[in-house]
Structure 1
Amino acid sequence: MSNLYLYGIFPAPGPQDLDLQGLDQKPVQTQIVDGFAFLYSEAQQQRYLASRRNLLGHEKVLEQAMQAGYRTLLPLQFGLTIETWETVSDQLTAPHFEHLKTLFEKLDGRREVSIKLFWDSAEELQALMAENAELREQRDSLEGKSLSMDEIVRIGQAIEHAMSDRREAIITEFQTTLNAMAIEIVENDVLTEAMIYNAAYLIPWESESEFSQAVERLDQQFDGRLKIRYNDFTAPYNFAQFERE
């Protein structure tokens, strides 16, 4: 038996009659193990490089299954291959049967959406200085004057704290508006210097339109200060992890 590449787990009987191509253009199939349905294709590599092409190929299989109506799923991490289904039963479905069932119950009728907030720190600093005369005077005092290192550090820290307060005010506004609409929230690490917030939300499937409208209102409220990346359709990676239970 050749190695098999796994994409995700669905409640049995799982996706039926899907005409999907997985990695290496191999057809995607369904296998039932201990009452759970696994999407898989034949693996053509011993180990898959986490390239953009491969990652998107993995995601595409899950998203196409969701689009076909199979919305409740536990996505598996990229690159997971097996030699036999007995391995899956021995290491996953049998020992974690109840936990998997609990996760499916939590995800039933719900979807993951996410936002990433970005700002232009230089523009925000300029706006801060325009709004805060005291800080502006302290900053201007750095130019053309002989200041002690303590004074320079103090002024720098004052500006840094003011920028931090400015960032937290934005984040709080988003949390106040969006968190109440979610069943569960996961706040992830920011990934770049320009990113100030990165969060995923588990929401009822039918309330996505309301949620996206709230994001749109927040975007208008901040009037171009932020770049918002809103993902309204993704496999629920943030809410399908054992350690979050």
Structure 2
Amino acid sequence: MSFYIYGILTLPAPENFSLQGLDGQPVQIKILDGFAVIYSQAQQERYLASRRNLLSHEKVLEEIMQAGDVYDGLRQRNLLPVQFGLLVSSWETVSEQLIRPHQEELTQLLAKLSGRREVSVKVFWDPDVEIQGLLAEHPNLKTQRDKLVGQPLSMEQAIQIGQAIEQGMNDRKQGIIDVFQGTLNSIAIDVVENTPQMETMIYNAAYLISWEAESQFSEHVEALDRQFEERLRIRYNNFTAPFNFARLRLFSSN
């Protein structure tokens, strides 16, 4: 028998919850070395990172966070999520390779995450539309670019025009990013900027915020959406387990 691990909680552990994890297995809690480990019994030797499995993993974490105890109107469930796919063969392995060697770090991370949630903002643009906007704002650059059509240019001239357009696009992109950073970063406790996942994505950031700050954060995102109107597409995820802020190197599954 092996166990699939979802995450780690501080004590006291939640009680009387009913959740299904991977393969429809009931989610359980194991008290280990002063922490509560969220797990279910594994039905496979290895879990593929399919969309279905990933969503099941994340759903367990999110539902436990949302079901957290509430004090003074604030959710206090501080959960340390584990990356997808961690299987262990025994609780001794968890204790010896995870809990005991990292006990202080686990405690600090869980304290940092207490009463907080992760939200994310992804910003997309249309490169073709932005190039047209750039050329409209810089007529001289447009004139030079138009010379590329049907007229012989030296390699040096072509490179110069290409570099000028590339620099203009980079400046345009950075200007947008500066606005988002200036508007949102001050609300967050911590920010992680991730690499954009595709050519049309120009900004990809995760924010650690307090539970009660989400409505304010959401209002600022909506204001940014209105500010840039149809120029940008903003994808806002207002709640997820704090994967970007749980930086703990775990042992290999076995």
TM-score range, shorter chain: over 0.9
Alpha-carbon shift at residue 144 of structure 1 (Å): 2.0
Structure 1 gaps of 5+ residues are: none
The match for 1:31 is 30
The match for 2:138 is 132
The match for 2:221 is 215
Q: Deviations over 1:106-150 (max 9, x none)?
A: 111111111011111011111111221111111111112111010
Structure 2 gaps of 5+ residues are: 70-76, 250-254
Q: Is the 8 A contact 1:184 1:203 kept in 2?
A: yes
Q: Is the 8 A contact 1:5 1:79 kept in 2?
A: yes
- TM-score w.r.t. the length of structure 1 is 0.96
Q: How does 1:87-236 map to 2 (within 5 A)?
A: 87-236=93-242
Paired with 1:61 and 1:182, the residues of 2 have a C-alpha distance of 25
Alpha-carbon shift at residue 95 of structure 1 (Å): 1.0
SS of 2:120 mapped into structure 1: strand
Paired with 1:193 and 1:110, the residues of 2 have a C-alpha distance of 31
Paired with 1:48 and 1:36, the residues of 2 have a C-alpha distance of 25
Q: Deviations over 1:189-218 (max 9, x none)?
A: 111011101111111110110011001101
Q: Is the 8 A contact 1:113 1:200 kept in 2?
A: yes
AA of the residue aligned to 2:147: S
Tell me how many residue pairs correspond in the alignment. Answer: 242
Q: Which runs of 4+ in 1 moved over 4 A?
A: none
- Percent identity between the aligned chains? 60
Paired with 1:15 and 1:168, the residues of 2 have a C-alpha distance of 45
Paired with 2:147 and 2:223, the residues of 1 have a C-alpha distance of 39
SS of 1:69 mapped into structure 2: coil
The match for 1:6 is 5
Paired with 1:220 and 1:143, the residues of 2 have a C-alpha distance of 37
Alpha-carbon shift at residue 50 of structure 1 (Å): 0.5
Q: Is the 8 A contact 1:13 1:32 kept in 2?
A: no
AA of the residue aligned to 1:157: Q
The match for 2:67 is 68
* CA-atom RMSD in angstroms: 1.0
- TM-score w.r.t. the length of structure 2 is 0.93
Paired with 1:15 and 1:113, the residues of 2 have a C-alpha distance of 23
Alpha-carbon shift at residue 14 of structure 1 (Å): 2.0
Paired with 1:111 and 1:63, the residues of 2 have a C-alpha distance of 10
Q: Which moved more, 1:139-148 or 1:159-168?
A: 139-148
Q: Deviations over 1:9-44 (max 9, x none)?
A: 011122211110000001101001111101111100
Q: Deviations over 1:60-112 (max 9, x none)?
A: 11111112126310000101011111111100111111110101111111111
The match for 2:73 is none
